[in-house]
Structure 1
Amino acid sequence: MQQNRNLGFMAAVGCYVLWGILPLYWHLMAEAEANEILCHRILWSVVFMLIVLVVTRRWKVLKKDCRELWHNKKRGAMLVAAAVIISLNWLTYIWAVNHNHVIDTSIGYYINPLVNVLFGVAIFGETLSAPKKLSIALAAVGIFLMTWQIGKLPWVSVALALTFGSYGALKKKLKLDPFTSITLETLLLFPFAFYYVANLTATGAAHFGPGTPALSLLLAGCGIATAVPLILFSYGANLLPLNVLGFFQYISPSMTLLLGIFFFNEPFGATQLFTFGFIWLALLVFTVSEWKAAHA
């Protein structure tokens, strides 16, 4: 039991650390447009996941899940929606990193747990405790101050939080094997990604090929960079209680925030710190509330 818990800890920490340093990886490919990087992320994720299914001998699970999805058209439609939404999330994230919005991405993933709470109320009929209501109000104040400060809604942060929150809600309703889900989501998007990359290649605008070996290797590595953290997350989720896993989810946006300030040199002064203070306070109230509820 303790061994499983330790493995869960390592998987969860590994997952969030990898997600936290992903901006560095996208930055290395800044020469390519976000659309092209996204398409390669989809294409190579399919390749990597098919290899994983072969190695782990999960073909029977994949076939079983495919049959169930075929007979249950509602679940099939939810899988298609999940694939589209996660691709929008990936595209927004890649674009933001390569257009000097790294700190905005960290805000998006900081407020994501609070968006999950709202979806829990709206979709799953969950009730909100007073501390959780307070945490959402504090986060809303933070977003309002940020909007007032920059003169427009921080759409990158909001888009990332909403798309990832929607994706999580769909996955919860689907209740699909994680390996099957990742494989099928990327397979659904594969034809569109292949068509886009083929068009780029035909017009000579592609960044994947013998003329750019280093960049091509990085683009091919998108499959591993996408699938490995998701697999680690699945293991962590299976081996750890959700309240414990929840504590680790702040590793990623915290690392991204530090990268945005110290590596990408994005502005972060007293005004930004004041705004972030409301979001951090909201997360503190939320996390303490979750911890108390789990130990009640």
Structure 2
Amino acid sequence: MNLAPTDLQSRRRGALAALVAFTIWGLAPLYFKAVGSVPPFEIVAHRVLWSLVFLTALLAFWRGFDGLWRLRREPRLIGLLALTSLLTGSNWLVFVWAISVERLIEASLGYFINPLVSVLLGRLFLGERLRPLQRAAAVLATMGVASRVWQVGQLPWIALFLALTFGFYGLLRKRAPVDPINGLFVETAVTAPLALAWLFWVARSGELHFGTDPLTDALLPLAGVLTAVPLMLFAVAARHLPLSTLGFLQYLAPSLGFLLAVFVFGEPFDAGQLVGFALIWLGLAVYTADMLKTSRAIAREQ
């Protein structure tokens, strides 16, 4: 597949956006450990509301609201963004629920399955084809994920739900003709009333954690930045990269999470897990090598 120089620059821009987004997501457990005293559902509500505050400020002081006014004349696009907001919202809720019931391993597995879902969706809906090395990388990653599923010992419905919801989110955002900031603003605004209602109900019951500890009060607003920035970057990446490439780059996030779990949080790790991770990382290395090889070949032709 030959790429024009502008296409190559676009993909490089998308790859950089994806790498930054997945790095933020991969290191996010450090933040959630810091606010570990706050119940997961309250954290999700704060993520939504502070994201809306951050995006409003971003539009007010940088981009302006003209794009949002134009969106009012596109009800189908608003409907599509409402659907994507439901996908991310349900993804967040299931993830934090899994943490609360101590099913984090199964939840984490979802983010290893998700890249394979993205590759499949790219093939089915966008007609994306894999080169031979990319197919080999997909086989290696599939073997690694299958090994992790086998270790779980049952149908990992939480992992499948997380993988499918975020996979379809990436597909729909790739096809949505809207810039990342305005699109994310609409998505956040759709779920903000639910988040506000939840916090109001928790406050009425006397169980609201916000306002009880200065450090927690300072950290919770950061949830908006840590939510909005990687989602905006992900939307940029989705517009500039094939869905299959975006999927493989996504392995960076759970890999960083794994390194944090083992070397920072001291979670147990055995040889069986090592086999699964090694196959996944080998697949990622093969896919990356193919990307570099293709980029160099295009550069030589210019």
Q: TM-score, normalised by structure 1?
A: 0.81
Q: CA shift at 1:194, angstroms?
A: 0.7
Residue 194 of structure 1 corresponds to 196
Q: How far apart, in 1, do the equivalents of 2:249 and 2:14 lie?
A: 11
Residue 257 of structure 1 corresponds to 258
- Report matched runs for 1:178-257 at 5 Å: 178-209=180-211, 211-232=212-233, 249-257=250-258
Q: 1:100 to 1:256 in 2, by over 3 A?
A: farther
Q: 1:38 aligns with which of 34, 39, 44?
A: 44
Q: 1:53 to 1:29 in 2, by over 3 A?
A: same
Q: How far apart, in 2, do the equivalents of 1:104 and 1:285 lie?
A: 26
CA contact (8 A) 1:89 1:160 kept: yes
User: Alignment partner of 1:67: what SS?
Assistant: coil
Q: CA shift at 1:292, angstroms?
A: 4.5
Residue 278 of structure 2 corresponds to 277
Residue 50 of structure 1 corresponds to 56
Q: How far apart, in 1, do the equivalents of 2:15 and 2:80 lie?
A: 30
List per-residue Cα deviations over 1:131-158 (Å, max 9, x = no partner).
4444333333323322322312445544
Q: How far apart, in 2, do the equivalents of 1:9 and 1:146 lie?
A: 27
List per-residue Cα deviations over 1:264-284 (Å, max 9, x = no partner).
222212110012222223323
User: Alignment partner of 1:45: what SS?
Assistant: helix
Q: Name which of structure 1's ranges 196-205 and 123-132 shifts more when overlaid on structure 2.
A: 123-132
- Report matched runs for 1:23-34 at 5 Å: 23-34=29-40
Q: 1:8 to 1:125 in 2, by over 3 A?
A: closer
Q: Aligned AA for 2:261? A: G
Q: CA shift at 1:230, angstroms?
A: 3.4
CA RMSD of aligned residues (A): 3.5
User: Alignment partner of 2:266: what SS?
Assistant: coil
List per-residue Cα deviations over 1:182-219 (Å, max 9, x = no partner).
1000000011111111000001111112x223223222
Residue 123 of structure 1 corresponds to 125
Q: 1:281 to 1:6 in 2, by over 3 A?
A: closer
Q: How far apart, in 2, do the equivalents of 1:155 and 1:292 lie?
A: 37
Q: 1:150 to 1:231 in 2, by over 3 A?
A: closer
Q: CA shift at 1:260, angstroms?
A: 1.0
Query: How many residue pairs align between the two structures?
Result: 289
Q: How far apart, in 2, do the equivalents of 1:133 and 1:247 lie?
A: 12
Q: CA shift at 1:261, angstroms?
A: 0.6
1:19 aligns with 2:20: no
Q: Aligned AA for 1:189? A: T
Q: 1:10 to 1:293 in 2, by over 3 A?
A: closer
Q: Aligned AA for 1:76? A: I
> Gapped runs of 5+ residues in structure 1?
none
Q: 1:184 to 1:230 in 2, by over 3 A?
A: same
CA contact (8 A) 2:113 2:145 kept: no
Q: 2:153 aligns with which of 148, 151, 154?
A: 151
Q: 1:24 to 1:155 in 2, by over 3 A?
A: farther
Q: Aligned AA for 2:73? A: R
> Gapped runs of 5+ residues in structure 2?
1-5
User: Alignment partner of 2:142: what SS?
Assistant: helix
CA contact (8 A) 2:170 2:238 kept: no
Residue 163 of structure 1 corresponds to 165
List per-residue Cα deviations over 1:64-123 (Å, max 9, x = no partner).
12322x2xx3x3332111001111223344455666666666654444333211001222
Q: Name which of structure 1's ranges 252-261 and 101-110 shifts more when overlaid on structure 2.
A: 101-110
Q: How far apart, in 2, do the equivalents of 1:34 and 1:25 lie?
A: 13
Q: How far apart, in 2, do the equivalents of 1:206 and 1:276 lie?
A: 39
1:59 aligns with 2:59: no
Q: How far apart, in 1, do the equivalents of 2:140 and 2:172 lie?
A: 26
Q: How far apart, in 2, do the equivalents of 1:77 and 1:142 lie?
A: 37
